[in-house]
Amino acid sequence: MKERITFTIDEKILEKVDKLIDGLSIRNRSHAIELILSKYMNFRELKTAFILSGGKGTRLRPITYEIPKALVPVHGKPLIEHLFDLLKKYGVNDVVLSVGYMKDKVISKKDEWSRLGLNISFVEEQKALGTGGPLRLAKDKLTKTFIVSNGDELKNINIMEMYEAHKKNRALVTIALTTVNDPSQYGVARLEGNRIVEFVEKPKKDKAPSNLINAGFYILEPEVTEMIPEGKCSLEKQIFPKLAKMGRLFGFPFSGQWFDTGNLDRYERALKEWKGIKSE
């Protein structure tokens, strides 16, 4: 059953709505607005992000002798706050941080970050637990579809579109994939359609199955945390290959900016080229 309603809408927004109408899949303004609202309401289920920020950042020394990697400055604010900007843009306000190295300095920022409108909590690693171990510790906080992100990268991803693809594919994990000219220093995705068959680690440039690499940003279903053993665990080496064999690991190629700040050369490039997250 449908009801007719009348409402006022900004002229510029209406122009964007009209551009969606093709007469086939989207018939008219009413149909377009209904689809947009439905897409948005479904997306609102995605509220939680887990950020891996416990590493020592050894390749960023001497900077990280005194500053934890998450707090290394980029354009006048900590690196991790650029990731917060991305999450806030899409209404993802519940953020869990894994902390280890210089954890007191990261935890001391909680009140400041809460004033940004974020609900911040922490998982403390007594020893390094890799990319999977901290998720196991936090599984009681991760009871619905959630985001996982590396904390040392700058990225601009359309999270709503990624979530829509994740649900359409019935994926257990969807990995954001970015394109690089030389993939030989990364894990490179081998795809069948959008399904990830495997990652080829640091292949020779002319042997790489694609130029699409793991961008360190994932959408996961909560049952994945049950697959993670206690203690140290690598998502990339121990969990993702199992999901690939199950046919439940998918990729989401995106064209937005992405910078790995893991070493001094890459950090310097990010400082020069990163454009930040725009609210619109």
Judge whether 99 and 151 are in contact, CB under 8 Å. Answer: no
The catalytic residue among 16, 19, 77, 202 is 202
Q: 82, 119, 107: which is closest to 276 by C-alpha?
A: 82
Q: Which long-range contacts (CB under 8 A, 24 or more apart) does 272-280 make?
A: 274/74, 274/75, 274/82, 274/154, 275/156, 276/75, 276/82, 276/85, 277/82, 277/85, 277/86, 277/89, 277/156, 279/89
Is 202 a residue of the active site? yes
Active site amino acids: 202
